[in-house]
A and B are shown apart, each in its own frame.
Chain A
Amino acid sequence: MRENGGVNDNSRGQHGGEIAGRGLGHLRDLAHLAPDDLSRRDFIRLMAAPLALAGVGAMAGCPSPREEIIPYVVPPELVVPGKPLFFATTMPLAGYGIGLLAESHMGRPTKVEGNPDHPASLGASDVLTQASILSLYDPDRARTVTHRGQISTWSAFTTFITGELAARRESGGRGIRLLTGAVTSPTLLAQIRAFLEQYPGASWHHYEPICLDAERAGTRAVFGRIVNPVYRFDRARRILSLDADFLLFGPGVVRYNRDFAAGRRVHLQGADAPPAASMHRLYAVESTPSITGAMADHRLAIPAGDVERIARLTLAAVRGNPPPPDDPHAQWVAAMADDLLQHRGSALAVAGPWQPPAVHAIAHALNAELGAIGQTVVYTEPIEAAEEGDLASLTRLVNDMRAGAVDMLIILDANPVYTAPADLDFSAAMDVVPLRIHLSESYDETSFRSHWHIPLCHYLEMWSDARAFDGTASIVQPLIHPLYQSRSPHEFMAALLGQPEADARELLRRTWRDRAPDPQQFEPFWRSALERGTIPDTAAPEVQVSVTGDPLAAQPPHPAPADGLELTFRPDAGVFDGRFANNGWLQELPKPITKLTWDNVALISPATAASLGLTSGDVVTIRHAGRQADAPVWVQPGQPDNSISVQLGYGRERAGRVGAGVGFNAYALRTSGAMWTARGVEVVPTGRRHALACTQPNQALGGRDIFRVYSLAQLTGEVAEEDARKRAGHGRTVHLSLYPPMPGSQINRGHAWGMVVDLNVCTGCSACVAACQAENNISIVGKDQVLAGREMHWIRIDTYYKGDRPAADAGPYFEPMLCQHCQNAPCEYVCPVLATTHSSEGVNEMTYNRCIGTRYCANNCPYKVRRFNFLQYADHTPVRRLGYNPDVTVRTRGVMEKCTFCIQRINEARREEKTILARGGQDARARADAVIDALQTACQQACPTGAIIFGDLQRPSPVAALRDQPHGFAILTGLNTQPRVTYLARLVNPNPALPTPHRALDHPERAFHEEAKG
């Protein structure tokens, strides 16, 4: 994949093989010429005086700058300058909440982490939650109330709206329409109901572009009522995904990642006798490559319209009717169905939200047949209050608007002008409405067409509540006073209800006072809800379901039309449905599969691309039902033939300075009849090219030993045997270095930090990338700079495909790559100013204020993990500066940077350890050790699957045990870099009855350099 014009391969990739052994003897001859007693440190010391002189000359002898200290007048409670505080809060996304702990430095939120007590998080987080902190400091957020585009005030609005509503009271508010996104907040729901009671003629509509309509309709079809499935992936031994991307999207995505990993993780206990390891087996049927498909042991890529056929065959096979032998997937389905049947009670089928209700119904029926209900899936009362589907609700609204029945449209935190299906032509229908009011975070496409726009608070600025995927309610607690004149939805609704100055916190307390188990004991209940971040016993009650409908009785889908292609729509891994388009971290986040930034594309299979004469970066016109959009194509292995896939959320007109005009608008092709899958689509090359900023142009493994895949059988067989042989003394330990070994006295004193990345549970979700960006003040650089290979991420997730060119049948495999903290670090030897050195605890240090920017270190790094500030990338917009982590230097132009193992967290933990020891007292040693054991890097803390394990190798820590696993390996050990980051091989658990594309890679040299592991 080198077609994407202009991408510089220089700064990445693995060029290791050529470096080893080049000109070594020559260098050794030169070595003795250097005076033994003049180390580089001495040289620097000698040079200090001239440098000082130069400094004095340059500064003309300026004394140190004067600074002021501004103390508080009255110190706020709890705030200790220099110590962050953590508050439990909740991030609502498309209505559903995920519990968070937000870090506050003297009143400024700087980072969010998952809340270990919240069922949707369990302490982890995902890309969107990690990046949400940047949206708070987005300088393009709406700042004031506007009326017809002119600056206005909240009180002007409330006066106005009170009058307008009073005039409509007599008619019962017949022309009033309220449009929201998905609502789970009990307080908001109560307010909406109160509003509808006051204005019985008004009606409430709801629409989410990434809606769960099909899921709800599917449960109704098979169980006779809408229920909410809650999956228990940790209990599932066999999983069938029917075009579901449950590892990247959905209200329970973080929890599902964790549960999924629990059933997949293989850590052998006791190195001498590996017991029978076990892990689940995932079958993925999918219409476009997803991270869920990438984790699958067997993956079937078929067009989205064919998924129902496979689902039907599977259900029939499970019921004892084997698939017709002439079906091309008969063997696959038969073997899979047989495997599912053998795991009755621990098998699970999941359908994706982009599949029609029929597929959902079949998945639920499969779960019933397989005895999964109550085991691997439980059904609860629905979380969203709405009975009606989102699309139906929006269509009804548009029809009313067209008919002129609407005289006041109130839109709460939704952007339908941009997200509504194109055939509804929402903006034209909306323009008919005489009064349009919009509440949203930024002045977007819908705001532009509204008379009034009210800025909406960021979730870290407001009081609210939300329910999680399983119904658990939690409080959205503000961390900071609103930066602008923004209002929460509750304050807005209260204004509509005639209480313009209502306090959102009081409204919230009122909701929960009514629901507290003992209203007399409300204060302790409220306090504990705020502290823990969840409200106990609020999970949706489980529902006993029984199958009432037979999904196979319904008409099978029409076969695909012979001409034309299939087009599928997906949310974007970064900007989601478009609401995060102005978030630079998410724009620059390499998409998990394609590694593209700053663009959406039309994914197309290599064969289809060849037949159309297309290569990556060619712009095509996609035509469907009289609508068209121009999109760059991206040739993606694993994409089914004759099906192209586009991502929603791009092509925003009014997103802000970052997001406006980036990518193409796929909503322009989306119609209410084809919300997720369109057929008979025409693709016409335009002859134009579009530069696509991909961070990893070469994704082929090409036989290089940088990623390892073993089958489960191999792990317990040959891998374990080889490991045992090595342990018995057959592995050689050779000191291979130009340089004398580091004296034992200089390393591993006190602590020895190390990391293990378990590739078997890394799902490539990229939460670590976003978390690292937030923790370490990492800049974004923009598309042009990414094209020049200058992105700044300290941790990236490399994707690899088997073989010399990306092949569809196996992969991508995900490999997080960060500074490997080599014990023989090539970067350290070449730094002329000792800006990168080695700590006594094994960390490769980077001293920014010493760096003069020669970039020798980056050139000498075989892992290509060093990042250079070619330009002044750091954003010093005043509001952005509020959000920087004060514990980490903000780097300027000309400085090299890279992963530090979160040295700020290490230092904080070490200081705390020593402080506890110094203060003494009972169990001081144990308490100090507990601090060290609890230390987590930002990537590790965010990782929803626990794939990143960090800690002190000298303690009996998990990381020390995992470094010793038989399937552990280090990367490019042939260079004798001796990394402190090691990996556990990816494992596959193929069905013996099926051919497997995953083949363990041969590593003839494997045994030789294994000492690097130690």
Chain B
Amino acid sequence: MAQLFPASADHLARALIGAAVLAVASLFMIGGAITRSPYVTLQDVPLDQPVQFSHEHHVAGLGIDCRYCHTSVADSRNAGMPSTKTCMTCHSQIWTSAAILEPVRESWRTGVPIAWQRVNNVPDFTHFSHEIHVNTGVSCATCHGRVNEMPLMWKAASLQMQWCLSCHWDPGPNLVPPEEVFNMDYRPPPEQAAAGRERAASLGIDPYQITRCSTCHY
């Protein structure tokens, strides 16, 4: 009986096995890439909001400090979203009839809050505190990006655990002097990483401790 497979079938089999391995591997890679892509994380995707509020205008143009609206950012885990009253402190005086601000005035009239689309959403089962990050010297821009250049808000970072840990393992590069935390234009000096590590050490911030599970998950 003649051989069923010619000698070349060995090569074909090897090639197919290799291809199968590659196919599986590439499936994994594609899967990984999708979970990390903006399609899933919404990173860099501007969201439609009920009011076309421009951080670029209010921060860069008018020079309003972050804490004017996000009042509790240094005191609480929640940064605090401005109440309608906060908007109306200015907009009861200026741009009082601008069509774009009608939802704000409506909220003020009816007492129904404005429902903003959440841009930065920490994953479920994760506890995050603005207070500790802002006070120890993590600049707003580190996580939220150059907000002063965003006409509409988008998420500047993936907010995935890997991204969190990248800083928790070595906070040095991101710990700026406290007075520069809210300064969007602050450019860290070349020796930032060393200075940041020194600051972390002086505050007893221990990269090993802040990478333990229970720091964020409880």
Contacts and interface: CB of A to CB of B under 8 A. Distances in A.
A903 B218 contact: yes
A984 B130 CA distance: 41
B84 to A, nearest CB: 4
B125 A848 contact: yes
Nearest to A70: B113
B138 to A, nearest CB: 11
B190 to A, nearest CB: 24
Given A53-B31, A81-B78, A71 B204 contact: no
B124 interface: yes
A839 interface: yes
Contact of A73 (B76, B84, B205, B209): B84
Contact of B42 (A63, A82, A888): A63
Interface in A530-569: none
A239 B8 CA distance: 99
Interface string B110-134: 0111111110010011010101100
A749 B218 contact: no
B121 A845 contact: no
A72 interface: yes
Nearest to A839: B212
B46 interface: no
B76 to A, nearest CB: 4
A517 B65 CA distance: 49
Interface string A239-259: 000000000000000000000
A56 B209 contact: no
Contacts of B137: 918
Interface stretch (A131-139, A423-431, A907-915, A972-980): A907-915
Interface string A681-702: 0000000000000000000000
A887 B127 contact: yes
Contacts of B112: 73
A746 interface: yes
B31 A746 contact: no
B213 A839 contact: yes
B77 interface: yes
A917 interface: yes
B62 interface: no
Nearest to B109: A73
Interface residues of A, number: 57
Interface string B21-63: 0000001111110110001111000000000000000000000
A66 B177 CA distance: 34
Given A81-B80, A746-B208, A911-B132, A49 B218 contact: no
Contact of B34 (A61, A71, A749, A889): A61
B129 A911 contact: yes
Contacts of A62: 40
Contacts, number: 175
B92 interface: no
Contacts of B180: none
A25 interface: no
Contacts of B136: 914-915, 918
B215 interface: yes
B72 A80 contact: yes
Contact of A919 (B84, B129, B135, B214): B135
A919 B214 CA distance: 25
A63 B40 contact: yes
A750 B121 contact: no
Nearest to A71: B81
Nearest to A79: B72
Contacts of A887: 127
Contact of B31 (A49, A68, A71, A83): A49
Contact of B213 (A63, A72, A837, A889): A837
Contacts of B212: 837-841, 845
B67 interface: no
Contact of B113 (A63, A71, A840): A71
A852 to B, nearest CB: 14
B34 to A, nearest CB: 5
A23 interface: no
A50 interface: yes
A82 B121 contact: no
A872 interface: no
A840 B32 contact: no
Interface in A764-790: none
B110 to A, nearest CB: 9
A68 B115 contact: yes
Contacts of B40: 56, 61-64
A177 B166 CA distance: 73
B125 A849 contact: yes
B55 to A, nearest CB: 15
- Is the interface on chain B under 10, 10 to 19, 20 to 34, or 35 or more residues? 35 or more
Nearest to B206: A749
Contacts of B125: 848-849, 889
A846 B212 CA distance: 11
Given A82-B78, A847-B217, A907-B214, A73 B83 contact: yes
A634 to B, nearest CB: 38
Contacts of B31: 49-50, 52-57
B107 interface: yes
A915 B132 contact: yes
Contact of A888 (B27, B41, B213, B218): B218
Nearest to B116: A69
Contacts of B39: 61, 63
A903 B29 CA distance: 37
B157 to A, nearest CB: 13
B203 interface: yes
A772 to B, nearest CB: 14
Contacts of B151: none
B188 interface: no
Contacts of B81: 69, 71
Contacts of A919: 135, 178
A840 B209 contact: yes
Q: Which interface residue of B30, B41, B127 has the most chain A CB atoms within 10 A?
A: B127
B72 A915 contact: no
A55 B41 contact: no
A72 B83 contact: yes
Contacts of B27: 53
Nearest to A751: B209
B102 interface: no
A596 to B, nearest CB: 32
A75 interface: yes
Contacts of A64: 40-42, 121
B75 interface: yes
Given A61-B40, A66-B117, A750 B204 contact: yes
B108 interface: yes
B218 A840 contact: no
Contact of A71 (B29, B42, B83): B83
B85 interface: yes
Given A49-B28, A80-B75, A837-B213, A917 B203 contact: yes
Contacts of A66: 117-118
A888 B32 CA distance: 30
Contacts of A837: 212-213
B75 A904 contact: no
B18 interface: no
Contacts of B29: 49
5 contacts: A68-B116, A68-B118, A70-B115, A73-B83, A903-B214
Interface of A: 48-50, 52-57, 61-64, 66-75, 80-83, 745-746, 749-750, 837-841, 843, 845-850, 887-889, 900, 903-904, 907, 911, 913-915, 917-919
Interface of B: 27-32, 34-35, 39-42, 71-72, 75-78, 80-85, 107-108, 111-118, 121, 124-125, 127, 129, 131-132, 135-137, 178, 203-206, 208-209, 212-215, 217-218
Given A64-B40, A69-B115, A749-B206, 15 more contacts: A56-B31, A61-B34, A70-B116, A71-B84, A71-B114, A72-B113, A73-B111, A75-B83, A840-B208, A845-B218, A900-B218, A903-B218, A914-B204, A915-B132, A918-B136
